[in-house]
A and B are shown apart, each in its own frame.
Chain A
C-alpha cells in the first residue's frame, strides 16, 4: 500500500465515523443544551407549610394521604413494619420531641401531625447513597432514581425522619387500581415523597395540597417573596422537625 492509498482509506474511515448516527456523535447535544437552558433560567425553591390548626378541625381526615397513595401507586400493606409511606400521620410527641413542653398551644399536643419527606436543604440521605440514586435537585426536591437504587437502605438509616420506605414485595400485588400516569416501584428499591415533581412540571400543585379542603397544606416557591407559602410563614410562627440536626427541612409546621 502506498501513501496515497493509505490516506484515501483513512479519509473514508473518518468520514464514516462522523456520518454514522449510531455512534452517538450527533444526538448528544439535543438533550444537554435544552436541559441547561431550563435550569438556569430561574431557580425555584419548593417548600411546604402545614397548618396544624386547619388539620385539627377535621381529626379523622385523610384526604391528602389517600390522594397521594392513588396518584403514586403507593401500596397498602397494612403492617407497620413493611408499609410504604409517602405522607402519613404521626403523634405530636414523636414528630416534635423537642417541642413537647409547648404551653401556649396545649390543644395541639394531643393531635396527630401530617408528616412527609422534608426535602432537606442538607439531606443526609443523599450523602450516604453509594450509587447517587438519591440526590438534591436545584429546586430543592430530593429525588429518587429507582433505576439506580440498589436497595442498600443506607438512606433509610440516615434519614432522621423515617421518611423513606423499602419495597419488600412487588407493590403491584397490593394495589387495588393501578394509576397509569405514574410508575409503580419494584421489589428491592427505596421510595419516598417526591413533592409531586411530576405534577409540578405540568403546572399542577401536589396532589395532597390540591385535595385538602381545609387549606392545611400550603405549597409554593420559597424563593418568591409573594408566594403563598412565604406569606403564611411571614405571618405565623412556624417550627421544623429536629432543627438541631442541621438538615434544614423545607416542610414547615405552623403553630
Chain B
C-alpha cells in the first residue's frame, strides 16, 4: 500500500491555479448567455407578418400555433394515402387540403410568416424541398 495516502487526499495542491482555471472556464462558457441578456437579444421574439385579413385559419389560432405541424402531417397522410382532399374544420367549414394552395394562399409570404419563426426556433422542416412556393409569374399550364 502507498504510504501516507491520507495526507495526499486531505490536501489540495495548486489551489489558486485550479480555482482560477474554473473561473476562466465559467466566464468563457457563460459569455453567450451574458451577452444575450445584456444586449437584450434574449428577449427577442420574431415578428410575423400573417399576410391575411382573415380572422381565423382552418382551425382556431391557439390550436394552429401549437399544432400546425401535426395538422400538416395529418393533411399529408389524408391526401397522399387516403385520397381525401377536403378538411372539415371544427366549425364545419370545408377547406381544400393543400399546403401551397390553401395555406400559402392566405399566408402569402413564406419568408415573413413561416421562416421567421422556424429560423428562430431552429426548426428545419423539409416541406420546401419538394413543395413549390407559389409565385404567380412562372409555370402554369392548363
Alpha-carbon distance between A137 and B80 when the two chains are bound, in angstroms: 10
Q: Which B residue's beta carbon lies closest to that of A200? A: B83
Alpha-carbon distance between A6 and B85 when the two chains are bound, in angstroms: 46
Once the chains bind, are A34 and B88 in contact (CB under 8 Å)?
yes
Contact of A31 among B66, B74, B134, B141 (CB under 8 A): B74
B44 CB to nearest chain A CB (Å): 26
Contact of B132 among A21, A137, A184, A197 (CB under 8 A): A184
Asked whether A147 and B76 contact (CB < 8 A) given A177-B139, A180-B135, A185-B130, the answer is: yes
Once the chains bind, are B129 and A186 in contact (CB under 8 Å)?
yes
Q: Check A158 for interface membership: any CB of B closer than 8 A.
A: no
- Which 7 A-B residue pairs are closest in the complex by CB-CB distance? A35-B84, A177-B139, A183-B130, A35-B82, A186-B129, A179-B139, A183-B131
Once the chains bind, are B84 and A71 in contact (CB under 8 Å)?
no
Q: Which B residue's beta carbon lies closest to that of A139? A: B83
Alpha-carbon distance between A54 and B28 when the two chains are bound, in angstroms: 77
Alpha-carbon distance between A147 and B86 when the two chains are bound, in angstroms: 20
Alpha-carbon distance between A71 and B132 when the two chains are bound, in angstroms: 13
Asked whether A31 and B130 contact (CB < 8 A) given A22-B63, A201-B83, the answer is: no
Asked whether A179 and B141 contact (CB < 8 A) given A22-B63, A184-B132, the answer is: yes
Q: Specify the main secondary structure of chain B where it touches its partner.
A: mixed
Alpha-carbon distance between A180 and B139 when the two chains are bound, in angstroms: 6
Once the chains bind, are B130 and A184 in contact (CB under 8 Å)?
yes
Counting contact residues on chain B (CB < 8 A from A), the size range is: 20 to 34
Once the chains bind, are A38 and B84 in contact (CB under 8 Å)?
yes
Once the chains bind, are B130 and A180 in contact (CB under 8 Å)?
no
**Listed A/B pairs (7) with beta-carbon separation below 8 Å:** A31-B74, A70-B141, A73-B132, A179-B132, A179-B141, A183-B132, A186-B129
A-side contacts of B82, CB under 8 Å: 31, 35, 39
B-side contacts of A186, CB under 8 Å: 126, 129-130
B86 CB to nearest chain A CB (Å): 7
Q: Which A residue's beta carbon lies closest to that of B129? A: A186
B-side contacts of A35, CB under 8 Å: 78, 82-84
A-side contacts of B81, CB under 8 Å: 145
Alpha-carbon distance between A143 and B85 when the two chains are bound, in angstroms: 16
Q: Check B138 for interface membership: any CB of A closer than 8 A.
A: yes
A-side contacts of B88, CB under 8 Å: 30, 34
Once the chains bind, are A30 and B87 in contact (CB under 8 Å)?
yes
Asked whether A31 and B129 contact (CB < 8 A) given A67-B141, A180-B139, the answer is: no
